[in-house]
Structure 1
Amino acid sequence: MIPYGQQDIQQADIDAVVGVLRSDFLTQGPVVPQFETAVAEKVGASHAVAVNSATSALHIACAALELQAGDWLWTSPVTFVASANCGLYCGASVDFVDIDPHTYNISPVALEAKLEKAESDGRLPKVLVAVHLCGQPCEMEAIHDLAQRYGFKIIEDASHAIGGNYQKERIGSCRYSDITVFSFHPVKIVTTAEGGMSLTNDAKLAERMQMLRSHGITRDPILMTKQPDGPWYYQQVDLGFNYRMTELQAALGLSQLDRLEAYVERRNELAARYDSLLRELPLVTPWQHPDAYSGRHLYVIRLRLDRIESSHRDVFMSLRDQGIGVNIHYIPVHLQPWYEKFGFQPGDFPEAEAYYSQAISLPLFPTMTEQQQNEVVDALRLSLEK
């Protein structure tokens, strides 16, 4: 089976983790802050807060922005459920904005129309989670302009996007957002096994997220609400969580970060090669915005079902039967049973649903060989001819 994604673990990564195992700290040592500093410097952000998953990073980002019951969080329907669930964790209500048919990200046109109606209804969002699907960034300047006009906060869900650029600036710089979130899951661009990170240019938001990831506890006398008893003293000043990243994860991430540019470059080379190999087939290859340089976490094709006899399911299963580990990213969140309980139903977001009915993620990872890629294309060609 050729997987749709796969981590690349080299001897340098193993040595880095073993070095931590032989050190004095497995958690809450010096390597986590080193990793935070390295990522912040890499992307041009002022502060970074490492946690145990991108889901945790999204949660503490929402909490730091004081999202709560009575508020609204909006996001894309084409994303992993965590991009929406983070709003529910805070007691807020969740809604969605339909996607652009070319980028598969939130459509600024649809967003503006929805905001106009929400303003008249008194239901404007407090937070928008802008998802950079497949690694391609959203049109953040347009989204930021709308945020200034309508007064909502922006979280960039860049779980797919570390190493990419928007308007020639690194994704994660937070130029057009309050907080950016990265994922370090094994199939992502760099990995910490599991892990995530929130980045911001706001010192107060960083401070709040640092406390929230560790039970809401502080040892900083300035942040305490009463006089400390002594140098051992700590206070819980908020209701936080145990979302800390371990030293082992951070060591792996630091080592992987050295290869970030090479990984993204290779992913883009493979994507360009797919574009060429698939040009004559009855499908749509991923369109790339001229303002963006994608991290290319995923390579998603859309089948031209009007030009083939097979169904979406038939093509998917044929590829799996041939040993090609294709996947679907994603089932629109509003169609999940949990969200249907809130009144969402088929037809609510037609562009997202059209995308889902045609989309297949082909294998793409930096160690993929051209021979493996040829096998994927040959299998796809055979599947489309059935």
Structure 2
Amino acid sequence: MVRAIPYGRQDITDQDIAAVNEVLKSDYLTQGPAVDNFEAAFAEYTGARYAVAVSNGTAALHLCAMALKVVPGQKVITTPITFSASANAIEYCQGEVVFADIDPQTYLIDLQAVKALLASEPKGTYHGLVLVDMTGRAVNLEAFRQLANEYGLWIIEDACHAPGGFFENSQGEKELCGNGRYADVAIFSFHPVKHIASGEGGMITTNDEEIYEKLIRLRTHGITRDSSLFRNTSEFASGGQEVVRGNWPDWYMEMVDLGYNYRLSDIHAALGLSQLQRADDGLSRRRYLATRYNEAFAGKSYVKRQSGKIEGHAYHLYILELEDRIGLYNHLRSLKIYAQIHYIPVHLMPYYRQKGWSEGDLPIAEDYYRHCLSIPMYPTLKDEEQDFVIRSIDEYYSD
């Protein structure tokens, strides 16, 4: 076995390269028609009314926090087992992040822990929830929506791990991640190890037209060319010429919000759209590989817990909880199998420790961290490579 086996790997095809080359030869490099096409296709893929392409998943989270009007001091609940951006986006707006522990069976934020937090303070103390589809397993947003309605909370679904994932609602219907039925907004990432790779990139989906219009402005410096939103009325605004409302010069625009340059380029969008066209094939392959892992590790004494059921799971990651995790991690690296840890609990990062969080605050998340290991999971992982991974893990514990 010569080729290194990472925990995740992008797959770039001739089709992808041709799509990017077409943009490079066009009149647009930054935001243009390829972005529009990508947004339309992604909205259709998730079942949402609107999709807004942005520069990366973190930018998507930040814009959502702004569009939902997070202001200094507002408390927002999220999970500690996620990439730090899920929490940081609230901090960017000077909100206050409060972490709730996870369900040990799913690695998702625990509904009962969130209920306990909300019940411990007067209504109005908390303003929102950032719910993460960790590893690709969909959060039951229907249950959280009922809780959010009771307490007047908004919901951001962090679906970076879960395009194509779903849960079943109380009527037995499949609810795709990002469809906007229960969450106010959902966000996705197109980082190279994700299901859809665009180099860097992100997407926001929503069914709320007002939020959509706000996001469109915020990703481009808060600038609009929509004359219905114009606020200037002086002759100076029109260059000294009298203006009839609705008949402004073509060059005129206004900055009506304090926004950012969070645009996605047509180059990235073309790659993302090309990858989206085969996303279902990649998802099927991930579930196939997960089935093989489930069967291989079922009943093994050294496995404390594994990722579990296939139904609805998007399998960005396949995680085992193991004894002697560090020893196995080093053993696999010696064989050029590059496993990874997802994640160090966010509340124990130095930035959040200085805000008062410490070990012991979220014992389930902390115990999970001591044992978790993400093993290789990506569509181009060959069966024989997966067999080598399985055999290498088994042999380590058998020696």
Q: Deviations over 1:69-128 (max 9, x none)?
A: 020121100000000000000010111111001110011111111110023xx6632121
Q: Deviations over 1:13-61 (max 9, x none)?
A: 0000000000000012111011001000111101111001000000000
1:191 and 1:185 mapped to 2: Cα distance? 5
Match of 2:328 among 306, 315, 318: 315
Q: Deviations over 1:160-207 (max 9, x none)?
A: 000112221221111111000011110000111110011100011011
Match of 1:239 among 258, 261, 278: 258
- The alpha carbon displacement at 1:320 in A equals 1.3
Match of 1:53 among 52, 56, 59: 56
The residue correspondences of 1:105-116 to structure 2 (distance < 5 A) are 105-116=108-119
CA contact (8 A) 1:153 1:178 kept: yes
Aligned to 1:308: none
1:249 and 1:78 mapped to 2: Cα distance? 29
1:265 paired with 2:265, answer no
CA contact (8 A) 1:131 1:156 kept: yes
Aligned to 1:94: 97
CA contact (8 A) 2:221 2:259 kept: yes
CA contact (8 A) 1:136 1:288 kept: no
1:363 paired with 2:376, answer yes
Aligned to 2:224: 218
Aligned to 1:285: 306
Normalised by the size of structure 2, how large is the TM-score?
0.92
Match of 2:361 among 331, 348, 354: 348
CA contact (8 A) 1:108 1:139 kept: no
Aligned to 2:393: 380
Q: Secondary structure at the match of 1:156?
A: strand
Q: Which runs of 5+ in 2 are unaligned?
A: 169-173, 239-248
Partner amino acid, structure 1, of 2:163: I
- The alpha carbon displacement at 1:280 in A equals 3.7
CA contact (8 A) 2:294 2:308 kept: no
Which contiguous aligned blocks of 4+ residues in structure 1 show a shift greater than 6 angstroms?
A: none
Aligned to 1:254: 273
Aligned to 1:295: 314
Partner amino acid, structure 1, of 2:166: N
Aligned to 1:130: 131
- The alpha carbon displacement at 1:278 in A equals 1.4
- The alpha carbon displacement at 1:297 in A equals 0.3
Normalised by the size of structure 1, how large is the TM-score?
0.95
Identical residues among aligned pairs (%) = 44
2:37 and 2:384 mapped to 1: Cα distance? 38
- The alpha carbon displacement at 1:138 in A equals 1.0
Aligned to 2:184: 178
1:76 paired with 2:79, answer yes
CA contact (8 A) 1:103 1:288 kept: no
Aligned to 1:197: 203
Q: Deviations over 1:238-277 (max 9, x none)?
A: 1111100000010001111110110100000000001111
1:37 and 1:240 mapped to 2: Cα distance? 23
Q: Secondary structure at the match of 2:330?
A: helix
Partner amino acid, structure 2, of 1:189: H
Q: Secondary structure at the match of 1:315?
A: helix
Match of 1:23 among 22, 26, 31: 26
- The alpha carbon displacement at 1:287 in A equals 2.2
CA RMSD after TM alignment: 1.2
Q: Secondary structure at the match of 1:294?
A: coil
Match of 1:35 among 35, 38, 53: 38
Partner amino acid, structure 2, of 1:224: F
Q: Secondary structure at the match of 1:344?
A: coil
2:181 and 2:31 mapped to 1: Cα distance? 30
Partner amino acid, structure 2, of 1:285: Q
